């Protein structure tokens, strides 16, 4: 009989997030629905009068209050649903909140077009009014986006289509998280184990090649059975982005997606070009891994196996929490105390359960705790995931505490800095305290995998996105064969001649939810390179660098991402940090090889 995944009620309460802190009962949820309706009608009543500063201030403040309440509802609904995607009650609640969000967007769509009708000089005067200080970035964005805002009627139409536009992503999520079943895989003892996305990495890291090969084939053959549906959902998601870009007069889908961060397309292209110019280092890594694993052929199901034999340390969750605290100690007492309080107050939903969303994330809203969803499985990688997600949550905690609602929300472009920064500090701590040589080698290998997974892999994803979006922008079709061919060729380019490709890898695009977020994944690579640059001085004890970094965590979205990073100490508009990251990967590769040879000696 196969080992089953636990039902949610079997998980002890101390390992579950405390969403009752948001809404203790259903009546409190309904009260917020009613509150949004009330605030929405109040806002609509101000239409046509925003040229009056008193009315404009009232509109903005009402919008803040409505945004805070909507944030609570969105956070609660999607987190409740992610606890178990099969629960119809929370599917319904999530749908209600999303529908309300569309209604809010539709009925408040008059605000920006009306402000754009004001004389630009009047807007400048408003910015200089002390009462409007929290809205400075908002007004700057209005001025910057002037050419891309449509008429009142057109904005209402686009807003009303919001729920329909999100349909491809929602269908994909339901299909892959709730409906697709992968069956079982026999472990190294021959016992049938229920397979899931949440357990995939554990199988792929197995020392038993038969186990990881079976898991790999089970995973991709399952997705292949849905390739027509999955290609249609992805293609339609990209079509929505492409059509919206044309309607809003952007040069391309990518230009529209990068516009909110005020990031030039050149930054995206530079990232891909710089990594592409250094792919020989990834090829070297694949060749080294093939040799060290003693393989005649290196397959993708061999890629995640640690290069350290007989070392597979199990880390219980409580031990992981204490280790993360020690690893992040260089961030100071205040940071560690705030982090400890958060964990004690049930920020984290720790373990996998039936129907639970796969992976990990940090979520919440302006006036809630910065919650974390995990699927902790006692692996070293889960220890790093914990540090990673706490980086996000602590960033949110400090930004929400320091910033006004309008400037608290930060871009994903900078969000990945805080999370990967935490991983970098943890890695340094673990390397310095490795009890045995095998642990040190394991960590060095983990570091290499960090570069491979967060820079090379994400940039490959970014290049894939650029290819498929350009095809849709140019009126070409995205059939399953086209998607598979493009993805297969990119894997061939990135992993080099020592990797033996099979047909299954051509389907990997179908299991990457980030492709529905439109030019999201490149920010992981940007964040990784920025984090490595910022962490070095702090590890060395540079107090000024630490103060700059802590100020960065409190800065939210008070400036554009590139400017925030410059203030923190790194210029991501240049190729230099990415080049340094590539050289650092090469140095890590050489260090691992030397340590491995020393072990043999």
Residue by residue, what is the 3-state secondary structure of 194-234?
ECCHHHHHHHHCCCCHHHHHHHHHHHHHHHHCCHHHHHHHH
* Count of Cβ atoms closer than 10 Å to residue 458 Cβ: 24
Strand, coil or helix: 190: coil
The helices-and-strands tally (H runs, E runs) of the chain is 27, 5
> Do 350 and 376 contact (CB within 8 A), yes or no?
yes
Question: Could you give the CA distance from residue 398 to residue 420 in angstroms, rounded to a whole number?
Answer: 17
Tokens representing 369 are 């705790």
Chain position carrying tokens 């592409």: 276
Cα gap 22→369, rounded to integer Å: 8
Residue 467 Cα distances to 242, 247, 250, 276, 495, angstroms: 13, 21, 18, 15, 18
CA–CA–CA angle 275, 281, 285 (5° rounding): 130
498 classed as catalytic: no
Q: Do 374 and 382 contact (CB within 8 A), yes or no? A: yes
Chain position carrying tokens 């992610």:
82
In this structure, the strands spanning 192-194 and 184-186 are antiparallel
Give one word for 517, left, alpha or beta, with left for phi > 0 and alpha for psi -120 to 50: alpha
Q: Is residue 305 classed as helix, strand or coil in its secondary structure?
A: coil
> DSSP letter string over 4-57?
PPPPGGGS-GGGS--GGGT-SSHHHHHHHHHHHHHHHHHHHTTTT-TTSHHHHH
Catalytic residue (one of 112, 352, 389, 449): 389
Residues paired with residue 362 on neighbouring β-strands, in sequence order: 372
d(CA 68, CA 5): 36
What tokens were used for 589? 């590769």
Q: DSSP assignment of 242-255, as one string?
A: HHHHHHTT-SSHHH
Distance CA 417, CA 392 (A): 9
What is the rounded CA–CA span in Å between residue 399 and residue 220? 40
Which residue bears the tokens 């809630």? Answer: 368
Residues in the chain: 601
Say what angle helices 317-327 and 333-344 make with each other, to 10 degrees: 160
Catalytic residues: 389
């Amino acid at each position: 009989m196969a080992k089953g995944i636990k039902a949610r009620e079997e998980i002890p309460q101390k390992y579950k997030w405390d969403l009752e802190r948001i809404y203790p009962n259903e009546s409190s949820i309904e009260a917020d629905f009613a509150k949004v309706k009330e605030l929405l009608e109040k806002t609509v009543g101000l239409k046509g009068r925003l040229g009056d500063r008193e009315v404009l201030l009232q509109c903005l403040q009402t919008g803040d209050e409505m945004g805070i309440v909507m944030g609570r509802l969105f956070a609660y609904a999607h987190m409740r649903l992610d606890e178990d995607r099969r629960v119809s009650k929370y599917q319904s609640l999530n749908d209600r909140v999303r529908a309300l969000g569309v209604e809010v967007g539709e009925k408040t769509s008059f605000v920006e077009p009306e402000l754009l009708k004001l004389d630009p000089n009047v807007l400048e005067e408003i910015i200089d009014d002390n009462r409007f200080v929290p809205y400075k970035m908002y007004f700057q964005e209005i001025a910057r986006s002037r050419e891309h805002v449509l008429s009142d009627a057109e904005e209402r139409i686009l807003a009303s289509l919001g729920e329909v536009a999100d349909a491809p992503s929602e269908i994909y999520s339901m299909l892959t998280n709730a409906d697709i079943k992968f069956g079982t895989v026999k472990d190294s003892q021959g016992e049938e184990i229920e397979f899931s996305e949440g357990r995939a990495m554990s199988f792929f890291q197995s020392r038993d090649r038969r186990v990881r090969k079976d898991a790999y084939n089970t995973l991709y053959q399952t997705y292949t059975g849905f390739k027509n549906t999955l290609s249609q959902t992805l293609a339609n998601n990209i079509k929505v982005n492409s059509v919206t870009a044309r309607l809003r007069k952007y040069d391309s889908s990518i230009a529209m997606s990068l516009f909110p961060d005020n990031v030039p397309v050149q930054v995206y292209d530079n990232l891909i070009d710089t990594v592409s110019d250094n792919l020989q280092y990834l090829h070297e890594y694949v060749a080294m891994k093939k040799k060290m694993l003693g393989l005649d052929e290196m397959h993708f199901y061999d890629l995640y196996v640690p290069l350290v034999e007989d070392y597979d340390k199990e880390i219980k969750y409580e031990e992981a929490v204490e280790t993360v605290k020690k690893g992040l100690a260089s961030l100071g007492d205040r940071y560690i105390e705030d982090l400890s309080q958060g964990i004690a107050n049930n920020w984290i939903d720790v373990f996998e359960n039936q129907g639970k969303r796969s992976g990990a994330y940090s979520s919440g809203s302006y006036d809630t705790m910065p919650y974390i969803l995990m699927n902790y499985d006692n692996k070293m990688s889960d220890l790093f995931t914990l540090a990673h997600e706490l980086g996000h949550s602590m960033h949110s905690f400090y930004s929400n505490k320091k910033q006004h609602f309008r400037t608290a929300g930060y871009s994903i472009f900078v969000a990945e800095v805080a999370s990967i920064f935490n991983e970098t500090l943890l890695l340094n701590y673990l390397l310095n305290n490795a009890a045995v040589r095998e642990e040190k080698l394991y960590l060095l290998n983990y570091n290499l995998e960090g570069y491979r997974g967060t820079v090379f892999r994400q940039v490959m994803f970014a290049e894939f996105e650029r290819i498929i979006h350009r095809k849709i922008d140019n009126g070409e079709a995205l059939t399953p064969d086209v998607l598979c061919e493009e993805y297969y060729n990119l894997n061939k380019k990135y992993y080099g001649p020592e990797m033996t490709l099979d047909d299954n890898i051509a389907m990997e695009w179908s299991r990457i939810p980030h492709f529905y977020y439109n030019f999201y994944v490149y920010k992981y690579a940007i964040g990784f390179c920025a984090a490595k640059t910022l962490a070095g001085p702090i590890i060395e004890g540079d107090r000024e660098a630490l103060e700059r970094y802590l100020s960065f965590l409190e800065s939210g979205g008070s400036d554009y991402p590139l400017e925030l990073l410059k203030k923190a100490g790194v210029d991501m508009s240049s190729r230099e940090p990415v080049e340094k990251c590539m050289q650092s990967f090469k140095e890590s590769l050489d260090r691992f090889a030397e340590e491995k040879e020393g072990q043999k000696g």
